[in-house]
Chain A
């Protein structure tokens, strides 16, 4: 668990008159163990921010720190869960979970225990030796989440991980995140355009806007974990939802 600090970060593409800000003057402090969502319409820079923290991009201006260290290229300390299916189809489910520890040169018994623990937590203990092609999309996403947790990173980055799933599968993913939160608290940055999802899973929601892409507001989510799906019907939940919709303003694309 580590904090993430984004200070005065800008990301510029193009040059001269064709300069486009993929992110402008962003400032964000994510506490150790905090679950923060970035919401906003397309073009608001949320995925850019995530890719900068992940080390896939390097900022034109400003500094990103992971704990005390300036963020460099990917190093296994920041694991990303993507919207696209990134479960390796040539490895069995169990081998997928073992991938992180394996390439990091760890083969401790704790890692082997973690593999079995997370297989069970996502309800796939029957499918350890199955190939991903034999699993449904929702099951593969669970493998992806479990793989990220087994790898035991300091920071977890999720880029609209459930964007391609139907609402029922999505809801089961929220429950898995809650279970994982109880098992192993992580610092998480979670990109989504689903406001309800952001409220369900986060400690704090960061609102972003496009043209130029920037952070415009933040909303603290006061509800205790575990949060139940029924919470969505509570007036407090709906009030928060309205508040975020208002903050998104005319740019929202929900």
Chain B
């Protein structure tokens, strides 16, 4: 894309039609940093600063850092185990969910074959299936990946069917009349039209995969952040519990950011500004 093209787009974005009143640049980020700093200061004050909260109930920042210092090799292994399981199950489950959703949106037979099965399984919280999964697949990676993939599959299949059905029929008709075959019309209209909703679904699925896999690790695993937290809780090792929780938060945040960055270009047309 030429530079002048980029300039034009910037000019369009800055036109009165799309610009709303905005506070000064970066002030939002400053506010966010300030609120984080406040929380950490408050944490320190309530724990080691004043001792109002006993470390049995909530550890101080120094206790957490100290445990991080002597625990990090195990922590790194557990973090990696959880992250890999989440990413693998999320990729497999989402891909299968989107494929099944597109098939259901497209084919009458596929829709009526799959709809009842999906509707029957969908209300079941995936965590409730953990005992069966352990029974069938053991406490290794496979069971957790199956469970995470199942969760993502359910999210994506429903998301894909609903968003495909919401694409305005006039787009398909216009594409057909402009000379696209049915398959080409489907590929060049439905897929791009539902992409923003697919990205939302992928983000929801990623968060769900973390929840399900950590829960499964708590019940039975050889490694993983869920197992780490569960073991620590048996000895009331609250700094490690907190450490595990924080790492889960960081991992989930990183994955979410990656999805957003990767999808940014292809969903820009639907953003409210930009």
Contacts and interface: CB of A to CB of B under 8 A. Distances in A.
A168 interface: no
A133 interface: yes
Contacts of B188: 99, 103
A89 B174 contact: no
A104 B184 CA distance: 10
Nearest to B5: A129
Interface in A54-96: 54-56, 73-80, 82, 84-86, 88-91
A250 interface: no
A134 B177 CA distance: 25
B8 A129 contact: yes
Contacts of B124: none
Contacts of B178: 76, 79, 99-100, 103-104, 147-148, 151
B185 to A, nearest CB: 8
A131 interface: yes
A90 to B, nearest CB: 4
A103 B175 contact: yes
A126 interface: yes
Interface string A103-124: 1100000000000000000000
Interface string B139-176: 00000000000000000000000000000101101111
A216 to B, nearest CB: 28
Given A126-B8, A130-B8, A134-B15, A78 B177 contact: yes
Contacts of B168: 84
Contact of A54 (B177, B180, B195): B177
Contact of B174 (A86, A104, A131, A134): A86
B188 to A, nearest CB: 7
A18 interface: no
Contacts of B109: none
A225 B120 CA distance: 65
Interface string B240-274: 00000000000000000000000000001110000
A15 interface: no
Most buried by B among A55, A88, A126, A127: A88
A136 interface: yes
Contacts of A136: 17
Contacts of A80: 173-174, 177
A54 B178 CA distance: 11
A100 B189 CA distance: 13
B170 A79 contact: no
Interface in B9-28: 9, 12-13, 15, 17-18
Contacts of B270: 89-90, 133
B18 A134 contact: yes
Given A100-B178, A103-B179, A104-B179, A134 B173 contact: no
A86 B8 contact: no
B9 A86 contact: no
B192 interface: yes
Nearest to B7: A129
Given A85-B170, A157-B177, 15 more contacts: A74-B173, A76-B179, A80-B173, A82-B174, A88-B192, A89-B269, A90-B193, A90-B269, A91-B192, A128-B8, A133-B270, A134-B15, A134-B17, A136-B17, A151-B178
Interface of A: 54-56, 73-80, 82, 84-86, 88-91, 99-100, 103-104, 126-134, 136, 147-148, 151, 157
